[in-house]
Amino acid sequence: MSSMYLGNLKISLFGQSHGKGIGVVIDGLPAGEKVDMDALQAFMQRRAPGNSDVSTPRKESDVPNILSGLTDGVTCGAPLCAVFENTNTRSSDYDRLKNVPRPGHADYTAQVKFCGFQDAAGGGHFSGRLTAPLTFAGGICKQILERRGIAVGAHLLSVGNVRDAGFDPVSVTAKQVLLPGSKPFPVLSDEAGEQMRESILRAKAMGDSLGGIIECACVGVPAGWGDPMLDGMENRLSRILFAIPAVKGVAFGDGFEAAVSAGSVQNDAYYIEESAVKCRTNHAGGILGGITNGMPVLFRCAIKPTPSIALRQESVNLASMECEMLEIGGRHDPCIAPRAVPVVEAAASIALLDAWMGEKMYKKA
Amino acid sequence: MSSMYLGNLKISLFGQSHGKGIGVVIDGLPAGEKVDMDALQAFMQRRAPGNSDVSTPRKESDVPNILSGLTDGVTCGAPLCAVFENTNTRSSDYDRLKNVPRPGHADYTAQVKFCGFQDAAGGGHFSGRLTAPLTFAGGICKQILERRGIAVGAHLLSVGNVRDAGFDPVSVTAKQVLLPGSKPFPVLSDEAGEQMRESILRAKAMGDSLGGIIECACVGVPAGWGDPMLDGMENRLSRILFAIPAVKGVAFGDGFEAAVSAGSVQNDAYYIEESAVKCRTNHAGGILGGITNGMPVLFRCAIKPTPSIALRQESVNLASMECEMLEIGGRHDPCIAPRAVPVVEAAASIALLDAWMGEKMYKKA
Amino acid sequence: MSSMYLGNLKISLFGQSHGKGIGVVIDGLPAGEKVDMDALQAFMQRRAPGNSDVSTPRKESDVPNILSGLTDGVTCGAPLCAVFENTNTRSSDYDRLKNVPRPGHADYTAQVKFCGFQDAAGGGHFSGRLTAPLTFAGGICKQILERRGIAVGAHLLSVGNVRDAGFDPVSVTAKQVLLPGSKPFPVLSDEAGEQMRESILRAKAMGDSLGGIIECACVGVPAGWGDPMLDGMENRLSRILFAIPAVKGVAFGDGFEAAVSAGSVQNDAYYIEESAVKCRTNHAGGILGGITNGMPVLFRCAIKPTPSIALRQESVNLASMECEMLEIGGRHDPCIAPRAVPVVEAAASIALLDAWMGEKMYKKA
Amino acid sequence: MSSMYLGNLKISLFGQSHGKGIGVVIDGLPAGEKVDMDALQAFMQRRAPGNSDVSTPRKESDVPNILSGLTDGVTCGAPLCAVFENTNTRSSDYDRLKNVPRPGHADYTAQVKFCGFQDAAGGGHFSGRLTAPLTFAGGICKQILERRGIAVGAHLLSVGNVRDAGFDPVSVTAKQVLLPGSKPFPVLSDEAGEQMRESILRAKAMGDSLGGIIECACVGVPAGWGDPMLDGMENRLSRILFAIPAVKGVAFGDGFEAAVSAGSVQNDAYYIEESAVKCRTNHAGGILGGITNGMPVLFRCAIKPTPSIALRQESVNLASMECEMLEIGGRHDPCIAPRAVPVVEAAASIALLDAWMGEKMYKKA
């Protein structure tokens, strides 16, 4: 069992959706790093529910109570622990669900895994709410990276069948990657965003939900970050991205499109510009052999449709072992992808800061 | 730096393409497990080069020299180390390449990472040859799993634009998942396979290369394997799958297609069959919240086209920092995907055995 | 950096002495284990300050606020987080000390380690207060072990020059190892205890402090726990015991006395009793090759004298880089060894539960 | 199970005493470090058997076959694997012992641990022979440290009841710590050494064996190395020192003597010398709060008497479960402590290099 990210940076996530609180311990942050709490709160707000008509009207407290690791707003070298109280929980929504697992959720698998002792309310430890401390941790990493000229930004590449343009894989700038996150709806083209919102509202009206694809770019990452084989950037990133509950696919650069392409296309040609090695294209997503090549690091995540839908569904009663129809009450996101955008940025920031630490470690001195 | 898989099972990979030898240490295998060396050798042979007209004519020694961990063919509990000698290396092929990195390979990133001290010959530690010890380790795990009723099998879902049918996500059997691996070309439909081979030969004739998609199914995995958040089956599997050099994307169940789907479709409905909980569909690929649900575990990997192509390419000379055209000699696979099929099975077997060990550990006793 | 115990069980400790709170996340506890909160509180009370005339009159809140991991007092499989609020802190005691490191404390080393950004108040993250969450975590492990017939108990073997008898290494019983912990002063012989108390009060009166030796026995541990080389019971135990601030030595069985002994004495002879393998003596402390042999696991820890003493001491001013005399105010333990006894039990319980989990994992199934 | 040292540096040890070979993989060595093979071989020779009349006349091949990680004698960044062939094994010596465990050895515990599948010959994976690859790995670390002005040296502080002087804890120099290792018998005073040798020969003549204490000093370690709580220098060092089979106790600075001392004595007073912070004494062994303070790092290990003795011993037959007397043939060291001296240096060098890497990682940049 490990709800821990264990690299050079070590992060421990805890909490259940309807327990007393959730939170995170970040062990290994360098000392002397300022944390801009306003910027961090604004970053977390992008993930928070209740912001718009396409997200759940549920309100959650996303204000961290930082117990340790900061002195006068600066990291002191000791592990940083932040706790988020759980408020506004409505456990009665879930009472009936205890024995009737919601399709698409982890209710059934948690029950088997924990021999029936799992905390079922609100999805327990498997709740999307656990992305709040993940976002908090990643938000701090993001600030540390930004001070070193590295910008991590993501946007909705698609929602359902509506597709936006992607980042330019070669020339995308820090300003461009940060732009979508500054908008109420994290897209490049607001027109595409409007269509996405309409699709979501349509799905919601039908008691259904939609998925989407998030594209993320990391600009300013020098060549040489990451390690061979098991600790390459792709390994690190995918490992943490799949910790986001709805992610079902992760692809770097051209990803699955590389599979229908040719080597003569995929091989990014090198050239020299201003005494630096550059690539003319970026089909590799800035990573070769697990190690960054100095081009923007680019990847996409597939987000599945929210499993909580209003439509009546077929399930089973685990007590009686009989089939049982299920209707899920409560208030849910008809599409979780918009709120997942900052979580993806946070996950990427953690993996990058981890690689940065490793990079320092292995340099000869 | 870590060329190690560090879970309940701990695996350390070492070696460079043209060094004295490559190999693996597997730490944590349960004692008392028989290793069928013939079956293991046959499994490794599926990865070995030189088997067919669509793979490189290069011959490599894939015969492991097992130094420790086995007594009379049975695991003795001590770490198992296997070494593969490097023979038939032709370093002169690479001599000129030392300062001129091959596009699409890790030559340049390794040079930056290791400050110019990397072993450049044949790709060094980043060579695809390192998948030999990975396949060896996974082959042992696969045997242990098979004795417990779990079958891991993969096949080419596509090569270039040629696509084969996929496994039936609900009813696929052990026999079906093992079938492609028993064929000279690992496909479900031999007709599709013939077209794939033709595509590959066409690309080869043009001095180019092709990518492909590998689909893998794990049948017989009980519900409850895997752990929350960072150690879910998706996290474990993706982390090790991205250790295979050419993999650029990993997707579970419907993967990126889930992103254009609806919750009412993606939610796999539960029902009872023979007193067991089953799902009517398997869009989730057998994993919910990172934990297996008893359905077949299903995923796909995108394999990029082999970066070694005969066509003339644009590169740079890292010594003179000037542009330089590059022609790669040597003997290379015009499509690496067929040989990567057993490697994917091996990687999946390692992640599964790791989860099996964890499963035993967390059970109350 | 890692204030984490990372074995099969994963424990993350956080907090600074005078920060908002300190605490612990325990990741990997088996689900379905009852936690007896009264027993746990009583166990923690043994470590708490302010209990007697030989400990500091300082009062600390040692009441855990359990945020996650428990449902109705039973572990639910999710990480268990407990937080202890910091109250009754008197930072002014430490204000002057910021630039003048206390000899024997980690003030100076923390300053160097964290480049001057450390939280100096009360010793920050290096404070003995951090043993509260460690004791909490170990207390839970201890209960789980006790339900499986394993008793972990420690006592003061010596304080200064006063020495008590030790446990009988061969025939010590669960009842005997638990007895000292049930007394106000954790000794075997109350007469020796009285002399120890007198020694401590004498040192206190002189503005000085004393050290001591703690002996710990683990009764009921079956043969076969632990792993070879780096994960033997001695490695696991010592790694966590040295996390207790004042511990300067750890020895198993005869320990340093084995060094002046002969093989013919040290080798514990085997014999059969009631169809079980037993040893006639227990010089090895129940561990051979890192693995338990079924005899009581026995070890001792050297506890150095509390570095906080009232006597005037020579130090330096790190700002002016000049010598400066130092008098430490505040309220301190003249001998920390009595309060460290339950911490040693806690540390041992964590290492043992970790080994128990590993034991389950590697058994063939 | 883990015969791995897993810190910033990752080391995997493998092999059984009488298997094909033993060895080590070192993952994470910085690239560009020269390995002086002659010096390394000389270092290993100090551990090798057959060197003198107080060690076993058994000859072992201690010549490493380096398979990877070095290019032209310089680390290339890839994992370094070295294999030592097993030659001159005389398995018949052990044949009878299969079911009759040698007291003081891991024969019985290995049998329980590995369910009877262990490789019993020569102690299998638990053999002292496994210290050869450990010494090899540490020898490389030692060279890297020496280039940075850090000297690691150890000597026999005592053998049986014969005691030598110790290093001066404050003023010991690099030259002094390296001196004992340059002698045929690693002591400070050759006179004491002669008495030790006589004691050993006396014990040998009686068919018995002796223990000893090894003292190690690390000179030139800057302040600030190590991490809080679980990754302090004491935790790291003890964890790896207890991987040396005969070590039964580890103590830092005054160690167990600190327990009978007073705070006013143990607290090492600070002063300023040449603009640097120094301590007037070094009772702490150069470590406070787990972190180095710039004074020499000093510790001692208790080495138990070799369990292999010629005297007739009481054991049991695990097949028949009856008592059985045992006489051990073969050729054994009457005192293993002299040969363990370089192994202790190697272990310390690994822990220090690991801390050095961490130090670089956590520095702000």
Contact (CB<8Å) B360/C358 = no
Quick one: pLDDT at residue C365? 56
Q: Which residues pair with A158 in a beta bridge?
A: A163, A213
- Give the helix ranges, DSSP H, for A148-262: 174-182, 190-205, 233-241
Q: Which of A12, A69, A81 sits opposite C27 (nearest CB)?
A: A12
- How many other β-carbons are positioned within 10 Å of the β-carbon of residue C280? 13
C-alpha distance across the termini of chain D, in Å:
37
Q: Which residues of C touch A117 (CB under 8 A)?
A: 31-32, 71, 74-77
For residue B226, what is the DSSP state?
S
∠ CA B94-B98-B104, rounded to 5°: 80
Contact (CB<8Å) A2/C28 = yes
C83-109 residue pLDDT tens = 999 885 656 655 666 799 999 999 999
SS3 C357: helix
Q: Which residues of C touch B360 (CB under 8 A)?
A: 360-361, 363, 365
Q: What gap in Å lies between CA A275 and CA B322, rounded to an integer?
A: 9
∠ CA B275-B281-B286, rounded to 5°: 80
User: Would you mind telling me the total number of residues written for chain D in this entry?
Assistant: 365
Q: Which residues contact A310 (CB under 8 A, 6 or more apart)?
A: A207, A208, A327, A328
Quick one: pLDDT at residue D56? 72
How far CA D310 is from CA of C99, C283, D331, D332, in Å, comes to 61, 19, 9, 9
Task: Render each residue's pLDDT in chain D as its tens digit; 365 residues.
Answer: 689 999 999 999 999 999 999 999 999 999 999 999 999 999 999 999 877 777 776 666 789 999 999 999 999 999 999 999 988 565 665 566 679 999 999 999 999 999 999 998 889 999 999 999 999 999 999 999 999 999 999 999 999 999 999 999 999 999 999 999 999 999 999 999 999 999 999 999 999 999 999 999 999 999 999 999 999 999 999 999 999 999 999 999 999 999 999 999 999 999 999 999 999 999 999 999 999 999 999 999 999 999 999 999 999 999 999 999 999 877 789 999 999 999 999 999 999 999 999 988 876 55
Interface of A with D (CB under 8 A): 8, 28, 30-33, 77-78, 228, 357-358, 360-365
The two tokens of residue D177 are 């710590």
Report whether pLDDT(B91) > 80. Answer: no
Quick one: pLDDT at residue D294? 98
C218-230 burial, b if ≥16 CB within 10 A, otherwise e? bbbbebbbbbbbb
Contact (CB<8Å) B266/A305 = yes
Radius of gyration of chain D (CA): 21
Which chain C residue has its CA at the smallest distance from A13's CA?
A: C79
SS3 B183: coil
Angle separating helix axes A174-182 and A337-362, nearest 10 degrees? 140
- How many other β-carbons are positioned within 10 Å of the β-carbon of residue C321? 12
Got the DSSP string for B156-172? EEEETTEEPPPPPTTT-
Contact (CB<8Å) C68/A13 = no
Report whether pLDDT(B50) > 90. Answer: no
pLDDT tier at C361, thresholds 50, 70, 90: confident
CB-CB contact of C4 with C24 (8 Å): no
Got the DSSP string for D2-36? --EEESSSEEEEE--TTSSEEEEEEE-PPTT-B--
Average pLDDT over residues A293-304: 98
Quick one: pLDDT at residue A365? 57
The mean pLDDT value of chain A amounts to 94
For residue A334, what is the DSSP state?
S
Got the DSSP string for C37-105? HHHHHHHHHHH-SSSSTTS---------EEEESEETTEE-SSPEEEEEE--S--THHHHGGGSSPPTTS
Quick one: pLDDT at residue C1? 60
Q: Which of B66, B80, B124 sits opposite D76 (nearest CB)?
A: B124
Quick one: pLDDT at residue D219? 98
Report whether pLDDT(C160) > 80. Answer: yes
Got the DSSP string for D85-151? E--S--THHHHGGGGSPPTTSSHHHHHHHTTT-S--GGGGGGSGGGHHHHHHHHHHHHHHHHTTT-E
Q: Which of A109, A158, A261 sits opposite B289 (nearest CB)?
A: A109
Contact (CB<8Å) D365/A361 = no
Q: What gap in Å lies between CA A319 and CA D303, rounded to an integer?
A: 59
Quick one: pLDDT at residue D92? 60
Report whether pLDDT(C58) > 90. Answer: no
How far CA B347 is from CA of A268, A299, A317, B175, in Å, comes to 28, 22, 36, 20
Q: So what's the ipTM on this one? A: 0.96
Q: Which residues of C touch B33 (CB under 8 A)?
A: 364
Q: Which residues pair with C13 in a beta bridge?
A: C24
pLDDT tier at B52, thresholds 50, 70, 90: confident
Q: Which of D21, D28, D81 sits opposite B1 (nearest CB)?
A: D28
Q: Which of B253, B289, B313 sits opposite A106 (nearest CB)?
A: B289
Beta-strand runs (E) in chain C: 4-6, 10-14, 21-27, 65-68, 70-71, 74-75, 80-85, 151-159, 162-163, 212-219, 247-252, 270-273, 276-279, 287-288, 291-292, 297-303, 313-317, 322-326
Q: What gap in Å lies between CA C199 and CA A109, rounded to an integer?
A: 59
Give the position of tokens 């923690």: C44
Among 3.60.150.10, 3.40.50.720, 1.10.3210.10, 3.30.870.10, what is the CATH number of D4-362? Answer: 3.60.150.10
A323-340 residue pLDDT tens = 999 998 777 899 999 999
Report whether pLDDT(C53) > 90. Answer: no
The two tokens of residue B164 are 């084969």
Give the position of tokens 């079902």: A248
Radius of gyration of chain C (CA): 21
| Percent of chain A with pLDDT strictly greater than 90 | 87
CB-CB contact of B109 with A284 (8 Å): no
Q: What gap in Å lies between CA D316 and CA D326, rounded to an integer?
A: 9
SS3 B17: coil
Q: What gap in Å lies between CA C219 and CA A110, rounded to an integer?
A: 35
The mean pLDDT value of chain B amounts to 94
Which chain D residue has its CA at the smallest distance from B78's CA?
A: D125
Q: Which residues contact B36 (CB under 8 A, 6 or more apart)?
A: B143
Residue of D1, D3, D8, D6 whose CA lies nearest to D225: D8
B118-177 residue pLDDT tens = 998 889 999 999 999 999 999 999 999 999 999 999 999 999 999 999 999 999 999 999
- How many other β-carbons are positioned within 10 Å of the β-carbon of residue C141? 26
Quick one: pLDDT at residue C339? 97
Quick one: pLDDT at residue B331? 75
Q: Which residues of C touch D103 (CB under 8 A)?
A: 267-270, 279
Which chain D residue has its CA at the smallest distance from C289's CA?
A: D106
C3-50 residue pLDDT tens = 999 999 999 999 999 999 999 999 999 999 999 999 999 999 999 987
> Cβ-count burial of C317 within 10 angstroms (0-12 exposed, 13-18 middle, 19+ buried)?
middle
- How many other β-carbons are positioned within 10 Å of the β-carbon of residue C11? 28
The two tokens of residue A100 are 């009737």
Which chain C residue has its CA at the smallest distance from D284's CA?
A: C104
How far off is chain B from D234, nearest CA to CA, in Å? 24
